[in-house]
């Protein structure tokens, strides 16, 4: 009997390692972008060079958006030339930020190993190397163990289709799923992805999903389970596996600070977004407990104003209600449109020294990520997670303006009733309320994303 137990223990260890390998393959690219955690090991000279490179990026980005505010004064022909030049400038800035991040990763890895770089402190195209693989690759340890009562569902492609893992605090199960069509009917997807782990699910209190590639597009929270959507049975979060591997986590729980940043309809064409943000401000004020909100509506929500608000330390909530744009095969060209033709780009988010722990992106495709394997699942919501956000609500597809208003005001209403709720639980309450009102599809677009 003892041998049987030993064999089972060895089998569980092998399964846990296999599930961990699948999780690390998803997280590696995003983990490499978490530059804040790498600064502590740098020399003063290397840190100074990084600070200069980052300041240069932020300064030049601000100048580009300030220039865009004058586009309306240009002739059609001149405007076309200016826009072409601006696209090129944005591309060069992105390349500079890519180079800075890669060089920083290489320097941090060298510092951890005790080795010395060839020319200490090379950052932002000044001779540093790194990036994919080698010294520039993030070193990831064992991914976080699920919390008690949580089931982590991992889906990863293999040579003959897909493999699924169900991971709990004390057990790991693996099943070969065969070929899985992400566009198949929901009942078929539920039978393939959930049914093999049904008994574990029945004993759980929360589901965490870590899907790779095409299966990232599946709304697991909306799949049918015993006649209702999965989210009617459990809160569901979509994890990025950024919580382990020696990387600093922003904290185990959201801080007690009561400072919010609300950005409403920067382009001035979404009246429901304005109503949403005003309702959120009223809900925060109605909770008491000293909530303070920096409120930027319409023309006030410029690039500089939004960035300056995010730069102030102590904000715990960022709520953006407006358009969202996912662009580029890898997601790097995505952004949140701001007033005066400005943008909060993915690169801008990556360059922030800190981000609020809770982020709500009430706009189209703000939770969508790049589909290319080399993108590492990067998008706007994921960029905030890389920066240290603990809970993000975002939409993975286009959403109707009025529904977004209903959903996000519902989130704040739920937290007003129970201040102890996290964003995932509040989103669940809002989604179920919308489902009871008869909405059949669009509510599925919103997800709770965690690092």
- In this prediction, residue 98 has a pLDDT band, given cuts at 50, 70 and 90, of low
CA-CA distance, 426 to 410, in Å (whole number)? 8
Q: Is residue 22 part of a domain?
A: no
Q: Please report where in the chains the tokens 């540093």 appear, as a residue.
A: 128
* Predicted local confidence at residue 12, as pLDDT: 75
> Has residue 369 got a pLDDT over 70?
yes
Evaluated on CA atoms 341, 90, 387, 444, the torsion sign reads positive
127 and 208, same domain (yes or no): no
105 and 182, same domain (yes or no): no
Which range has the worst mean pLDDT, 163-172, 306-315, 363-372, 399-408?
363-372
User: Is-contact 401 268, C-beta < 8 A?
Assistant: no
Which of 66, 101, 136 terminates a domain? The answer is 136
230 and 264, same domain (yes or no): no
Pick the most confident of 31-45, 136-150, 154-168: 154-168
> Has residue 261 got a pLDDT over 80?
yes
Q: Is residue 327 part of a domain?
A: yes
Q: Please report where in the chains the tokens 């994890």 appear, as a residue.
A: 239
With residue 32 as reference, give the H or E element that holds it: helix 2-32
Q: Is residue 247 part of a domain?
A: no
CA-CA distance, 29 to 430, in Å (whole number)? 32
308 and 377, same domain (yes or no): yes
- In this prediction, residue 278 has a pLDDT band, given cuts at 50, 70 and 90, of very high
* Predicted local confidence at residue 122, as pLDDT: 40
For 184, the domain range is 150-239
> Has residue 5 got a pLDDT over 50?
no
> Has residue 434 got a pLDDT over 90?
yes
Region 191-195 average pLDDT = 97
> Has residue 203 got a pLDDT over 70?
yes
390, two tokens: 């603990």
CA-CA distance, 28 to 140, in Å (whole number)? 7
- The SS3 assignment for 286 reads helix
Q: Is residue 142 part of a domain?
A: no
366, two tokens: 């703000």
160 and 94, same domain (yes or no): no
CA proximity to 100, closest of 62, 146, 58, 144: 58
* Predicted local confidence at residue 3, as pLDDT: 42
Region 142-171 average pLDDT = 90
* Predicted local confidence at residue 159, as pLDDT: 86
398 and 433, same domain (yes or no): yes
User: Is-contact 304 360, C-beta < 8 A?
Assistant: no
- The SS3 assignment for 101 reads helix
* Predicted local confidence at residue 398, as pLDDT: 94
Which of 136, 163, 179 terminates a domain? The answer is 136
CATH number of the domain within which 336 lies: 3.40.50.1460
What are the phi and psi torsion angles at 405 (to 5°)? Answer: -60, -45
431 and 289, same domain (yes or no): yes
- The SS3 assignment for 164 reads strand
CATH number of the domain within which 222 lies: 3.30.420.40
Residue 248, classified by CB atoms within 10 Å of its CB into exposed (0-12), middle (13-18) or buried (19+), is exposed
Strand partners, 228: 225
Q: How many structural domains comprise the chain? A: 3
* Predicted local confidence at residue 132, as pLDDT: 40
Between 43 and 272, the higher pLDDT residue: 272
* Predicted local confidence at residue 42, as pLDDT: 59
Digit-coded pLDDT (tens) for 214-258? 899 999 999 999 999 999 999 999 998 887 543 333 334 455 578
116 and 197, same domain (yes or no): no
Digit-coded pLDDT (tens) for 356-368? 999 999 999 999 9
* Predicted local confidence at residue 147, as pLDDT: 87
- In this prediction, residue 21 has a pLDDT band, given cuts at 50, 70 and 90, of confident
Q: Integer distance in angstroms from the first to the last C-alpha of the chain?
A: 41
Strand partners, 174: 165
Q: What pTM was estimated for this model as a whole?
A: 0.79
Which of 102, 136, 170 terminates a domain? The answer is 136
Pick the most confident of 7-11, 99-103, 200-204: 200-204
Q: Is residue 250 part of a domain?
A: no
Between 55 and 322, the higher pLDDT residue: 322
Q: Please report where in the chains the tokens 């952004």 appear, as a residue.
A: 335
CA-CA distance, 176 to 431, in Å (whole number)? 32
CA-CA distance, 354 to 386, in Å (whole number)? 10
Region 91-112 average pLDDT = 64
How many Cβ atoms are within 10 Å of 226's Cβ, its own excluded? 9
Q: Please report where in the chains the tokens 């070193």 appear, as a residue.
A: 139
Digit-coded pLDDT (tens) for 35-89? 555 555 556 666 666 667 767 777 777 777 777 777 777 888 888 888 888 878 8
* Predicted local confidence at residue 51, as pLDDT: 67
CA-CA distance, 26 to 20, in Å (whole number)? 10
96 and 179, same domain (yes or no): no
Q: Is residue 145 part of a domain?
A: no
* Predicted local confidence at residue 106, as pLDDT: 59
User: Is-contact 125 101, C-beta < 8 A?
Assistant: no
Q: Please report where in the chains the tokens 């953006």 appear, as a residue.
A: 320
CA-CA distance, 23 to 241, in Å (whole number)? 7
Q: Is residue 252 part of a domain?
A: no
CA-CA distance, 256 to 316, in Å (whole number)? 8
Digit-coded pLDDT (tens) for 378-421? 899 999 998 899 999 999 999 999 999 999 999 999 998 898 89
Classify residue 49 by its DSSP letter.
H
62 and 84, same domain (yes or no): yes
404 and 284, same domain (yes or no): yes
396, two tokens: 């993975």
75 and 193, same domain (yes or no): no
Which residue stretches of 215-325 are H helix? 230-233, 271-287, 303-311
Region 312-320 average pLDDT = 92
Q: Is residue 402 part of a domain?
A: yes
CA-CA distance, 211 to 209, in Å (whole number)? 6
């Amino acid at each position: 009997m003892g041998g049987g137990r030993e064999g089972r223990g060895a089998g569980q260890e092998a399964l846990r390692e296999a599930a961990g390998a699948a999780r690390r393959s998803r997280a590696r690219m995003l983990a490499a972008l978490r530059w804040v955690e790498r600064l502590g090991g740098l020399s003063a000279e290397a840190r100074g060079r990084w600070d200069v490179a980052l300041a240069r990026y932020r300064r030049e980005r601000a100048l580009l958006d300030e220039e865009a505010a004058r586009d309306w004064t240009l002739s059609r022909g001149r405007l076309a030339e200016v826009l072409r030049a601006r696209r090129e400038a944005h591309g060069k800035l992105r390349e500079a930020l890519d180079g800075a991040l890669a060089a920083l990763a290489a320097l941090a890895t060298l510092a951890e190993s005790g080795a010395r770089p060839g020319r200490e402190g090379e950052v932002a195209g000044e001779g540093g190397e790194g990036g994919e693989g080698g010294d520039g690759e993030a070193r990831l340890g064992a991914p976080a163990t699920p919390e008690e009562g949580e089931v982590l569902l991992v889906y990863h492609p293999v040579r003959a289709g897909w493999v699924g893992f169900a991971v709990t605090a004390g057990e790991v199960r693996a099943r070969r799923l065969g070929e899985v069509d992400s566009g198949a009917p929901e009942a078929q997807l539920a039978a393939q992805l959930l049914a093999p782990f049904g008994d574990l699910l029945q004993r759980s209190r929360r589901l965490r999903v870590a899907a790779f590639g095409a299966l990232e597009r599946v709304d697991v929270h909306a799949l049918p389970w015993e006649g209702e959507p999965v989210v009617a049975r459990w809160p569901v979060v979509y994890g990025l596996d950024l919580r382990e591997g020696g990387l600093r986590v922003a904290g185990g729980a959201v801080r007690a600070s009561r400072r919010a940043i609300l950005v409403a309809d920067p382009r001035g064409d979404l009246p429901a977004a304005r109503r949403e943000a005003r309702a959120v401000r009223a809900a925060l004020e109605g909770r008491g407990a000293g909530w303070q909100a920096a409120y930027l509506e319409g023309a006030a929500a410029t690039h500089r104003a939004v960035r300056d608000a995010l730069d102030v330390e102590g904000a715990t909530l960022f709520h953006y209600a407006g358009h969202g744009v996912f662009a580029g095969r890898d997601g790097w060209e995505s952004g949140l449109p701001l007033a005066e033709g400005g943008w909060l780009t993915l690169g801008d988010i990556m360059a922030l020294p800190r981000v609020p722990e809770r982020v709500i992106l009430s706009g189209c495709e703000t939770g969508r990520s790049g589909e290319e394997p080399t993108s590492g699942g990067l998008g706007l919501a994921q960029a905030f997670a890389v920066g240290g956000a603990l809970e993000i609500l975002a939409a993975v597809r286009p959403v109707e303006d009025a529904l977004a208003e209903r959903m996000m005001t519902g989130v704040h209403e739920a937290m007003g009733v129970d201040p102890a709720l996290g964003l995932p639980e509040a989103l669940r309450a809002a989604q179920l309320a919308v489902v009871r009102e008869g909405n059949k599809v669009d509510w599925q677009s919103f997800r709770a994303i965690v690092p």
